[in-house]
Amino acid sequence: MARVPFETMQAVIAEAFLKAGLSRQDADICARVHTQASFDGIYSHGLNRVARFVDYVKRGWVDINAKPSLVKKIGAIEIYDGNRGIGILNAFAATDRAISIAAEQGVGIVALRNTTHWMRGGSYGWYAAEKGYVAISWTNTESCMPSWGSKEPSLGNNPFVMAVPRQKGHIVLDMAMSQYAYGKLQVTRLKGQQLPFPGGFDKNGNLTSEPGPIEESMRILPMGYWKGSGFAILLDTLAAVLSEGLATNEIDKIQQGSCTGCSQIFIMIDPRKLGGETYTNQVADSVVNYVNNSTPDENSKEVLYPGQMEVRVREEHLANGIVADDGVWAEVLALAGRRE
């Protein structure tokens, strides 16, 4: 396992993206987002996702020259076509535009269609919170999970993000609709371990904590069983309806990797136009304190709020370098044209 300083990782990823044909500016922005994901401990969408993005660019699944274009404007809602451009840049453009609308009108909604993988959804929640905005955002995806009561995938895991700005540390939720990601199943299987709780069904319909049989059956479990299944259905429908874009059943026909052609929603609200910054901090602090001060259970030393773990991981990574898998780091170094 390597330990890589933030600046080094960002510079190397940017070189890899430059070699893939991105402009200097685009490469730098995307490299920062991937690096920040690893820095926050979300390795799956950080360094580990660089090679796949480069592959999508080479295959022409991501158009590195496309920019989002305005389709329609209705009050505080705007619809954009992502034109299959770079998912990170499209998502930032959508977030920035929704923030601009919210700065004027209190709330701003951008519905983005025909975009590509936004990588870590939490990126846009943290970004909005850093600017003082409340964010509610989600994406649909290709299907990877059965609806509740089915044994065949028909739902995306449709990551959902909520963020509230808070001076002492933003409260940020970033969750997919499956109980575990396929990446988590793979990592757990390679370690020869079991999942902490059942993660899906084997091919015979038995609920299991063994990752291998779930990877084989593709019967990954929605979080909360029927609840996560229902939530995924609504997120998908709403993303497609509001953006006049594709739902999961249509994304499945594209067959160009993960999330190509997907639909995303960015709702931004300016709390400074409501109760104000001091008030927002008071409320957010009271929620955080209630959670942090509740008695830990038998397996825990402390009780954390969403976003608190990321702050811890950042501090550790800042001191010791970002954790990076040796093989993955070597692969990205190679993509950057460096041999170390």
- Residues sharing a CB contact under 8 Å with residue 89, sequence separation 6 or more, in sequence order: 26, 29, 30
CA–CA gap between residue 126 and residue 313 (Å, rounded): 15
d(CA 51, CA 325): 13
CA distance linking residue 93 with residue 29, whole number of Å: 12
Task: Please tell me whether residue 199 binds its own copies under the rule CB under 8 A.
Answer: no
Query: From the CB of 326, what's the least distance to its own copies, in Å?
Result: 29
Instruction: Name the segment binding its own copies (CB under 8 A); options: 38-46, 50-58, 115-123, 150-158.
Output: 150-158
Going residue by residue from 4 to 43, which x/- string records binding to its own copies, judged by CB under 8 A? Answer: ----------------------------------------
Regarding 241 and contact with its own copies (CB under 8 A), the answer is: yes
| Catalytic-residue membership of 45 | yes
Using the 8-state DSSP alphabet, how is residue 134 labeled? E
**Using the rule CB under 8 A, which residue among 112, 162, 185, 220 binds its own copies?**
162
The answer to whether residue 216 forms part of the interface with its own copies (CB under 8 A) is no
When the beta carbons of 24 and 227 are compared against its own copies, the nearer one is 227
Quote the DSSP letter at residue 85.
-
CA–CA gap between residue 8 and residue 333 (Å, rounded): 11
Residue count at the site for its own copies (CB under 8 A)? 86
- Which lies closer to its own copies via its Cβ, residue 70 or residue 274? 274
Backbone angles phi, psi at 183, to 5 degrees: -60, -40
**Helix or strand or coil: residue 114?**
strand
- Is 16 within 8 Å of 334 (Cβ atoms)? no
Among 3, 224, 278, 315, binds its own copies (CB under 8 A): 224
- Three-state DSSP class for 29? helix
Which residue number, 212 or 275, has a Cβ lying nearer to its own copies? Answer: 275
Tell which one of 3, 19, 273, 312 touches its own copies (CB under 8 A): 273
Among 11, 29, 181, 291, the residue binding its own copies under the rule CB under 8 A is: 291
Active site residues: 45
